[in-house]
A = this chain, B = another copy of it.
């Protein structure tokens, strides 16, 4: 396997330390300024990913490949995005993989769209519904920047009024009223396909589960994932003092016929 080199026009994740990373596009002649001095991005061209680049103040940065989780967290956003802890679980629970055809709503800032598009490549497709044009524009930019727009069909529309696709493998919802989309999700899914909804409040969960139970769905399950980060140092190992206590609940179900 040949070593991949950084090319002009590609994104890199500049790593300064555990708290500070920057998603930047490599351009000849462009400088990237931080409080630790500036780096000349053009110097990265032709170097391997993982290499060091020093700022004019002699501070070392590393040029990493932007991973999907980096892009999701760096997404230009106007909405709350889904965190990696939930994103990984959503992909697994909804069985999203190469070739999957997935309906998503709402698109929001496109953080989850990115992860879905990356997972279904190259034959699969994401159909992503959003009712607010300004969010859709933002998401298109975020997905395009990641080079994943070929795998997404962005749709301006209200999923509680209908889903155009049929026989899809999964319907994944991150919206205020997921229960209103349940009948349409059932219509759009293939037999055995996965309905999945991410909701911050327990009332949303109760309404969604109740709607799922009124339609032919089985394996209706609700989960919450709690992520703890650890400080690991000889003689000082412990969980972080402050943590994200809650993002949302994940409800999954599978469509059956009759």
A167 CA to B95 CA in the complex, in Å? Answer: 28
* Chain B residues positioned under 8 Å from A239 (CB to CB): 224, 245-246
Which residue on chain B has the smallest CB distance to residue A117? B97
* Contact between B256 and A234, CB atoms less than 8 A apart: no
Chain B residues within 8 Å of A168, by CB: 1
Give, as a whole number of angstroms, the nearest-CB distance from A238 to chain B.
Answer: 5
CA distance A1 to B203 in the complex (A): 35
CB within 8 Å of B: which A208-258 residues: 209-210, 218-230, 232, 234-247, 249, 251, 254-258
Write the chain B residue with the least CB distance to A254. Answer: B64
Q: Choose one: B21, B49, B115, B247; the contact of A191 (CB below 8 Å).
A: B49
The main secondary structure of chain A at its interface with chain B is mixed
Stretch of A28-36, A80-88, A132-140, A154-162 contacting B (4+ beta carbons < 8 Å)? A80-88
A222 touches B229 (CB 8 A): yes
Q: A98–B121 contact, CB under 8 A?
A: yes
**Using Cβ atoms and an 8 Å threshold, which residues of chain B touch A87?**
88, 92
**A201: CB under 8 A from chain B?**
yes
User: Interface 1/0s, chain A 173-211, versus B by CB < 8 A?
Assistant: 000000000000000001111100000111101100110
Q: Is the CB of A50 within 8 A of B192?
A: yes
Residue of B nearest to A12 (CB): B192
Is there an interface contact between B238 and A230, defined as CB atoms closer than 8 Å?
Answer: no
Which 4 A-B residue pairs are closest in the complex by CB-CB distance? A50-B191, A243-B245, A88-B92, A88-B88
Complex A-B: 9 CB contacts under 8 Å: A50-B256, A68-B92, A98-B122, A202-B202, A203-B234, A205-B230, A209-B232, A225-B228, A241-B246
